Amino acid sequence: MKIRIKKKRISITLTFLRLFLALILFFIILSERKDLALFFFVLTAFLSFFEIFVHKEQKSQLKSVMDLLADKLLVNLTAIGLVIINLLPLWVMLTFFARDLLTIIGGSYLFYKNIKREFKATLIGKITLFSQIIALTPAILGEIDRVLMWAAIILTVISAMELFFKSEFKLTRRTDLSQFSISNLIKFSDIFTLANVIFGLTAIFFAISENYIYMAISLFLAVIADYADGKLARKLNQENVFGKELDSLADTISFGVAPTIFGFSLIQTPLAIVSFTIFLFCGILRLARYNIMNIRGGYTGMPITLNGIIIPLIYLAKVPFDYYPYIYILLGILMVSSLRISKL
């Protein structure tokens, strides 16, 4: 019994380590340190296959979801990073991402319908993951093997078709699909959530192009849009599962990814890379915790939205860049803390 518990703890630790390494890998790719990026990519991939083939015992649904998330982050963050530094065509990254998006949609459907199923990787899914990793390996070094890349793309498409037609994510004929149409799901307040996404993406573009004043303005506007979204949803009684998930995705982009890319564009020391990774990791965990909690009138941990105010202010206040890693780590800790904050 003790051995089983110990193995379970090791497995969970490895999963979180893979998530952490995938985030670090993304920043290393952006810094164009090819040899170091290749090392982290191979290490994370090895841990992924180690989990698949060694830990074959029954997993909890949460553990299975975390394993899938770690694999998706490894492939997609690597592909996104390679696209940003012009080492991979955009359409290849979108092909990989579209397949994983289908997985997310299917998983969300099962969660929405309260259907308890094991999120277990299929044989074709494992082969697809392996082919994607093999195809991306030379791309990290600036060389694209067309045979390997096309093999990965074809397997990705086949895997996506299997997910749709044969997997447990498939919708039955008796399912009323009209309830999932965008026109029925989206509410007036969600328009402000989408505005939040637009301002977040704009902030990312300005950070990459080093237009930091406009980046700060974009984050402030994202905060306003996020505040308006929540207020309107409550006032118009439009709070629902779809809106909550959409809001979390928007917040991840605007107050997690955008500040991270902004910080990385200013300072790229090893400490900074680790701190930005911890910051983004904590932001994701904070939103995941918020989504499963049903507490009204307050927050547990600092709301991720506050990053859209604090980080632009420290830039406008001309705080030395050397202090940024410590500020980001502090913000990350506050987000996952048990601090209780009342809603405005």
pLDDT, residue 173, reads 44
Per-residue pLDDT at 10 = 63
Using a cut of 0.75, tell me whether the model's pTM lies above it. no
Orientation angle between helical segments 90-112 and 61-84, nearest 10 degrees: 160
Domains in the chain, CATH or no CATH each: 2-175 (no CATH), 183-342 (1.20.120.1760)
Confidence of residue 233 (pLDDT cuts 50, 70, 90): confident
pLDDT over 90 (residue 90): no
Coil vs helix vs strand at 39: helix
Q: Where are the beta strands (DSSP E) in 163-303?
A: 298-300
* Alpha-carbon span 249 to 194, nearest angstrom: 10
Range in 24-28, 97-101, 258-262 the model is least confident about = 97-101
State the pLDDT at residue 124: 77
d(CA 213, CA 315): 9
User: pLDDT at position 15, please?
Assistant: 78
Per-residue confidence (pLDDT) for residue 172, from 0 to 100: 45
pLDDT at position 307 is 95
From CA 16, how far away is CA 65, in angstroms rounded?
12
Separation between Cα atoms, residue 226 and residue 230, nearest integer Å: 6
The β-bridge partners of 80 are none
Residue 220 has pLDDT above 80, yes or no: yes
Rounded Cα gap, residues 3 and 116, in angstroms:
27
Is 16 in contact with 73 (CB distance < 8 Å)? no
Mean pLDDT for the chain overall:
79
Structure tokens at 194: 């989408």
List Cβ<8 Å contacts ≥24 apart for 39-44. Answer: 41/74, 41/78, 41/133, 41/136, 41/137, 41/140, 42/137, 44/18, 44/74
Span 304-328, mean pLDDT?
94
Q: Which residues are 299's β-sheet partners? A: 341
- Under a CB-based contact definition with an 8 Å cutoff, are residues 199 and 218 in contact? yes
State how far the Cα of 108 lies from the Cα of 65, in Å rounded to an integer. 11
3-state secondary structure of 340: strand
How close are the terminal C-alpha atoms of the chain, in Å?
48
Tally helices (H) and strands (E) across the chain: 14, 2
Q: What is residue 310's predicted lDDT score, i.e. its pLDDT?
A: 95
CB neighbour list of residue 167: distance below 8 Å, 6 or more residues apart: 106, 122
Nearest to 324 by CA among 287, 289, 256, 274: 274
Q: Average pLDDT in the 247-260 region?
A: 88
- 128 and 152 in contact (C-beta within 8 Å)? yes
> Looking at residue 107, what is its pLDDT?
55
CA atoms lying within 13 Å on the CB side of residue 296: 2
For the chain, state the CA radius of gyration: 20
